[in-house]
Structure 1
């Protein structure tokens, strides 16, 4: 389970490109394509450098007019999905 205090970053093992503000990725090992919508793409971009989930959520709260509690819930859910698909790394 990912927590707000965890430090995460994007996996460097994926090829990715942005098309019209959305990210398409290729997992060469698994031979599959993955797609992120606009908000997912913003989060992906933020994960280019390691940061805590709490800092990521605060950055998104500063950028978008949404309650921080909702952002935290949505980001944690997305990061769990990303983790299951080996898209992110957790740092010690």
Structure 2
């Protein structure tokens, strides 16, 4: 699965954290260090499988937990219009 960042979204990264602003809805979202790590993978065009593998390498977490947590995270970003599913 591939995801793209909505063209109405701008972001700023500082000290490993990010702020996303949806210019269309005027809503902003704060990402912690892990959220920013995943955001950067998405920004680089990684597929869902590639993101899962990178997270497994970077964090002490089970594969099932990565799949569950990443699905929740991506579903939320899609729901609020930050990213779009390209499949």
Greater share of helix residues, 1 or 2?
Answer: 2
User: SS of the counterpart of 1:89?
Assistant: strand
Q: Which residue does 1:79 correspond to in 2?
A: 74
Alignment map for 1:1-92 (pairs within 5 Å): 6-92=1-87
Question: Where does the alignment leave 5 or more consecutive residues of structure 1 unmatched?
Answer: 1-5
Structure 1 runs (4+) greater than 3 angstroms displaced: none
Size of the aligned set, in residue pairs, is 87
RMSD (Å) for aligned C-alpha atoms:
1.3
TM-score relative to the length of structure 1: 0.84
Q: Is the 8 A contact 1:11 1:87 kept in 2?
A: yes
User: SS of the counterpart of 1:40?
Assistant: helix
TM-score relative to the length of structure 2: 0.88
- Tell me the CA shift for residue 87 of structure 1: 1.1
Question: Where does the alignment leave 5 or more consecutive residues of structure 2 unmatched?
Answer: none
